Amino acid sequence: MTNFDVVVVGAGLAGLTAARAVRAAGRSVIVLEARGRVAGRTLGHRLSDGTPVELGGQWIGRTQTEVLKLVDELGLETFPTYDDGAAVTLYNGTLTRYADETFGLSAEGAATVGRLRQELEGLADTVSLSSPWTSPAAAELDRQSVGEWLHTRTSDTEALAFWGAIIPALFSAEPAELSLLHFLFYIKSGGTLGNLVSTTGGAQELRVVGGPHLMSERLADQLGDAVRLNAPVRKVSQDHDGVRVDFEGGQVTAQRVIVAIPPTLAGRLVYQPALPASRDGLTQQMPMGSVIKVQVAYPTPFWRRAGLSGFGFSLDEGLSVTMDNSPPDGSRGVLVGFFEGAHARSAALLPLEERRVSAVATLVRMFGPEAQNPVEYAEQNWMEEEYTRGCYGGRLGAGVWTQHGAALTEPVGRIHWAGAETSDVWNGYMDGAIRSGRRAAAEVLGHQEA
Amino acid sequence: MTNFDVVVVGAGLAGLTAARAVRAAGRSVIVLEARGRVAGRTLGHRLSDGTPVELGGQWIGRTQTEVLKLVDELGLETFPTYDDGAAVTLYNGTLTRYADETFGLSAEGAATVGRLRQELEGLADTVSLSSPWTSPAAAELDRQSVGEWLHTRTSDTEALAFWGAIIPALFSAEPAELSLLHFLFYIKSGGTLGNLVSTTGGAQELRVVGGPHLMSERLADQLGDAVRLNAPVRKVSQDHDGVRVDFEGGQVTAQRVIVAIPPTLAGRLVYQPALPASRDGLTQQMPMGSVIKVQVAYPTPFWRRAGLSGFGFSLDEGLSVTMDNSPPDGSRGVLVGFFEGAHARSAALLPLEERRVSAVATLVRMFGPEAQNPVEYAEQNWMEEEYTRGCYGGRLGAGVWTQHGAALTEPVGRIHWAGAETSDVWNGYMDGAIRSGRRAAAEVLGHQEA
């Protein structure tokens, strides 16, 4: 069979959710996936003793209602991210241990950060989630990069270093690389900045037993042979009668297509007829972030004995953020860490062994000499993944939302767009991906012929 | 024959120059061009009476030594752009006529513009042309958009409106859409801001008799059947033995490949193995500008009788810049105009007839009622061109040069990069395209096996 009601490009959470909704409405569907696996930016991995660790997206917050519902529907379970005890912050080589909301900053630094945070939350309130470019101060907010905005607000070195690490922790990009309007949109999309950066009470509160890639795997199981792997799509053609999608190894026809891959990758497909300039102009400039995720395993979560949560934050070179990523029973200690933004780009140039040494050195500075000898190290460089080309997601730099934002979700004839980047709620997160898949499916199902 | 020493992707000035140099060194070469014509962003057109007008790049400045040499070598001739008489500026619906360097601004506006111009020239002096990201103040200059920088420097509405029109005139992009570092690099690349914006004494001083696309056509004639049209390249594969280039309709092999298309389009090809993240990260965010070029023809260049040069500058909606584009003998009057940046994006949404009406309305405001009834109107929307996707060229927004700039020209194995965007001198111009082609050819010829 090569003719369907709907063809979906990409078997991540967005595409699979869309496909499920299409099938639930009684329409035929096929999902074309470039890789030999489903799950997109989530990726399961097992340490040699069988402990599952997440090499891609992993956390869920309690206000992420759609992903929580899906976890439940699919018979999966969540468990709380380990978050007991004190956190640590590295700054200029000095370690600070703290158990409050200060991120270990000096009183002055914390006050400045708090003031800017309040200002950001206030500005975020003014942004339209459905169409950020129509926000009252859109032009002014969009012409500033976050980096420049911060420098106009403070010259406090410590506060600037804080934001210089927390922005990459959220976007895998440097403050200069994103528009202030984009940051504000993203804050509002996730509720508050507190939501975004917090473990307990925030977006990092829960993990999925076995890993969140299991959601995609179970969705794919339900879809059966409607999911075709190793089928990189190259061309999407449409005319009055329908669409044709060419992939390496074949072609399918359908009434509608849902393209559920990151905007920058969507921009690389060949379209016939060519996409309108408004859409093409957007995908020319919605780059993915730069991140290398590492998992470092120890015989035990030794930091817990020292009263540490495993949350480490570094304003210095190397890893920016670490968290306790041990299995629920604590039978093994795992620290997860991230090289982000500029740090990821420079770390990527190192041989694996040197990168491992760099990561472990940061863990030793944070958690002491016991961190020196991990039993295992695993990593995932998302920039090198041909079919993702960066994580956590696509962002917009200065000036882009106001000039090109309207094209992000607007269908082009029979082509509909999904993916975490296209959601107005929890944009960039698994929850947003699911919402986007559902929204795209609703668009498609709203058309009679499909 | 399907095996060559070098394959060139793109038959614009860069690619053809490279191919010529490769052949001159005694190596075999093939040029694969997606379109049914050569010449890339230059495009010839004839009015119904035979008068040639340029629908793409058209002007040459006296310091653009490489393009002048090529014109000469190819037996072509230049003639001066008509530039006698007064210029006009439209601002808030009011027309000002002037014959000095003030752009018709008020004394206060002109003083502010002059002050900022001086500051920009001074900053441009500090920028490294070969590696802008290593400039002393690179981080600070790159984290600011030009739009934000202007707003930190002045609140003079008129001066801001001036820059809000002159920046799109140079980049077909709004001030918020480009990095201050990029603007400074571009100024230095062309010599001075005065060079960039001036007709006589600047980058718009000369035209090519018949049109500059004739350069590409003559180069292609010399290359004969080494230029293959209607051959859109889809995939570039390389291994230890050589490269293979797949295009619609066939494939060729070679020792080296020169990709001479805009970076954003280069990023859309499939590469095997996939390109390194550093290069891919750059092409994810080097968008083309937005421009619609119009040619409006009259029985005579009637504005000349009124002592006007035909140079019109508008800070209002619609066309931003007009110039006298009549043939050398003045046998017919032609005004060329540009919808640029945001104006181009909104003009593109209009039906052709409404866009024509808008263009003519601006010409009437600038040059009087005689402009009301053109005998002919021609236009080119470069954004809609699948194999260009915008003009005048690729630019970098805030934060990109410092994070990704090094990948702009660095070869990837057997793949070399050419195109106007890759030149350090006259970046973005025909002169820069020629330089880039020569540079890429030298890289390729420097490798023994090619």
Give per-residue pLDDT as tens, B31-58.
Answer: 999 999 999 999 999 999 999 999 999 9
Beta strands, E only, A299-400: 308-314, 321-324, 333-340, 376-381
Residues 332-351 of B with CB under 8 A from A: 341-342, 345, 348
- The first and second tokens of residue A156, run together, are 């406090």
Pick the CATH number of B44-84+202-209+288-384 from 2.60.40.10, 3.40.50.300, 3.30.43.10, 3.90.660.10: 3.90.660.10
- The pLDDT value given to residue B450: 44
- The pLDDT value given to residue A448: 63
Q: φ and ψ at B198, to 5 degrees?
A: -90, 150
Cβ separation of A389 and B277 shorter than 8 Å? Answer: yes
The span from the CA of A111 to the CA of A117, in Å, is 10
Cβ separation of A277 and B286 shorter than 8 Å? Answer: no
Read off the pLDDT of residues B247-289 as tens digits, 9 standing for 90 and up: 999 999 999 999 999 999 999 999 999 999 999 999 999 999 9
pLDDT at residue A272 tops 80:
yes
The span from the CA of A433 to the CA of A423, in Å, is 7
Superfamily of domain B109-190: Guanine Nucleotide Dissociation Inhibitor, domain 1 (1.10.405.10)
List Cα–Cα distances, B326 to A71, A276, B203, B309, in angstroms.
69, 32, 18, 11
Cβ separation of A142 and B264 shorter than 8 Å? Answer: no
- Shortest Cα–Cα distance, A95 to chain B (Å): 27
Residue ranges covered by each domain of chain B: 3-40+212-286+395-445, 44-84+202-209+288-384, 109-190
Cβ separation of B348 and A277 shorter than 8 Å? Answer: yes
Question: Which amino acid does the sequence have at A344?
Answer: A
- The pLDDT value given to residue B447: 83
The span from the CA of B153 to the CA of B175, in Å, is 14
- Please, how many CA atoms are within 13 Å of residue A222, restricted to the half-sphere of its CB? 18
The span from the CA of B432 to the CA of B94, in Å, is 37
Return the percent helix, strand and coil in chain A, to nearest 5.
40, 25, 40
Mean pLDDT rounded to a whole number for chain A: 97
Taking CA–CA distances from B264, the nearest residue in chain A reads A284
Mean pLDDT of A176-201: 97
Q: Give A276's contacts in chain B (Cβ within 8 Å).
A: 384
Helix (H) or strand (E) holding B384: none
Q: What is the DSSP letter of B66?
A: H
Is residue B32 exposed (0-12), middle (13-18) or buried (19+ Cβ within 10 Å)? Answer: buried
Cβ separation of B148 and A148 shorter than 8 Å? Answer: yes
Question: Which amino acid does the sequence have at B228?
Answer: R
- The strand pair at A243-247 and B250-259 is best described as unpaired
Give the number of other CB atoms < 10 A from CB of residue A271. 20
Q: Indicate the CATH number for domain B3-40+212-286+395-445.
A: 3.50.50.60
Q: Is the Cβ of A156 closer than 8 Å to some Cβ of chain B?
A: no
Q: Is the Cβ of B403 closer than 8 Å to some Cβ of chain A?
A: yes
CATH 1.10.405.10 given to domain A86-197: yes
Question: Helix, strand or coil for residue A246?
Answer: strand
Q: Is the Cβ of A291 closer than 8 Å to some Cβ of chain B?
A: no
Taking CA–CA distances from A150, the nearest residue in chain B reads B143
Cβ separation of A384 and B288 shorter than 8 Å? Answer: no
Helices (H), B106-172: 107-125, 138-142, 146-153, 157-171
Superfamily of domain A3-40+212-285+395-445: FAD/NAD(P)-binding domain (3.50.50.60)
Helix (H) or strand (E) holding B61: none
% pLDDT > 90, chain A: 99
- The pLDDT value given to residue A447: 83
% pLDDT > 70, chain B: 99
Question: Which amino acid does the sequence have at A146?
Answer: V
The span from the CA of A332 to the CA of A49, in Å, is 9
- The pLDDT value given to residue B448: 63
Question: Helix, strand or coil for residue B296?
Answer: strand
The span from the CA of A271 to the CA of A283, in Å, is 13
The span from the CA of A315 to the CA of A169, in Å, is 11
Q: Is the Cβ of A280 closer than 8 Å to some Cβ of chain B?
A: yes
Q: φ and ψ at A274, to 5 degrees?
A: -55, 150
pLDDT at residue A369 tops 80:
yes
